[in-house]
Amino acid sequence: MVTLTLLQALTDGMKTAMRKDESVLVFGEDVGKRGGVFLTTEGLQEEFSKQRCFDTPLSEDGIVGAAIGMAMNGMRPVAEIQFQDFIFPAFDQIVSEAAKLRYRSGGQYTCPLVIRTPYGGGIRGGLYHSQSGEAYFCHTPGLKVVIPSTPHDAKGLLIAAIEDPDPVLFLEPKALYRSVKGEVPEEHYTVDLSTLREVQSGSDVTVFCYGAMVPIVTKAANRAEENGIKTCVVDLRTLLPLDEEGVLEFAKKTGRVVVVHEAPRFCGFGAEISALIAENAIEYMEAPIARVTGFDTPFPNTLEHHYMPDDRRVLDAIEHVFNY
């Protein structure tokens, strides 16, 4: 085991996959010599050459389109979009081409493609460098959407995504890149996609979260514990496909549920969690499901700390459903 930041674990995951399989390529804007805007790909070009880690033009649709072609022809591309906010020029390539390739070809072709991109706030990036667009892509059959929150999961989920036969959108919470550390196995390992993780056990309230919200929710759960409320914290990890049975199991366990994400509230991923529980476990609920989210506005710059959920807002929701 080694102790790594989340960013270092991602780098290690790419290196591990590239050492094991020569068909794995990494490319995107400034990912080569510079190592990416956050230095996530630092050292890859030196170890694996310019043929396997290279820079591309500033063209997101070109990056993803080229990756689809490579994936159809025996390669396993890992394409980086510098910020998730810039992924939308490639939206059609992702949802209309990559995600539908297996279906439209009757299973003759698969698209083993990973699109890595940092998402979310926490670095004062303003409205064009802080968006959380996971819900757009979770509406797309054929696509997988993965969000790690720990260094261990970051490496294991990334390797699993690279080895998966279908396209995976791998969203990286940039607020956690260097702010969290943890033990990571040095060898090759995977974390199964479509599996959630119990971060903290509790019998009174269940809080579902993912990405950068996991440490915030954990902090709120610890504050709730001081007030006698035992809170179960669940990290979803893979939003699509979702571990629906796991969600229902943890919801039934306490009968009180809070869902937390930093994306806007309206049609956010928390709505799907709420609907899933309402449709399948309403008889177990002791209180309405509460959502703690970003606001239905563009992501602000100077008011970032008000926009993003914090442990105070999460604690208020926990106490509300507990005392309902």
Residue 156 · residue 190 · CB < 8 Å: yes
In the chain, the amino acid numbered 157 is L
User: What is the signed CA dihedral for 212, 213, 219, 220, rounded to 10 degrees?
Assistant: 170
Tell me whether strands 181-184 and 231-235 are parallel, antiparallel or unpaired.
unpaired
Q: Radius of gyration of the chain from Cα atoms? A: 19
Quote the tokens at residue 12. 């290690």
The closest alpha carbon to 111, from 135, 146, 79, 156, belongs to 79
User: What is the signed CA dihedral for 210, 215, 221, 225, rounded to 10 degrees?
Assistant: 150
The CA distance from 214 to 195, in Å, is 16
Measured at the alpha carbon of residue 236, what is the angle toward residues 283 and 71, in degrees to the nearest 5? 130
Indicate if 129 belongs to the active site.
Answer: yes
The closest alpha carbon to 216, from 115, 295, 106, 293, belongs to 293
List the catalytic residue out of 129, 152, 261, 305. Answer: 129
Largest CA distance in the chain: 60
The CA distance from 33 to 322, in Å, is 52
The residues carrying an active-site annotation are 129
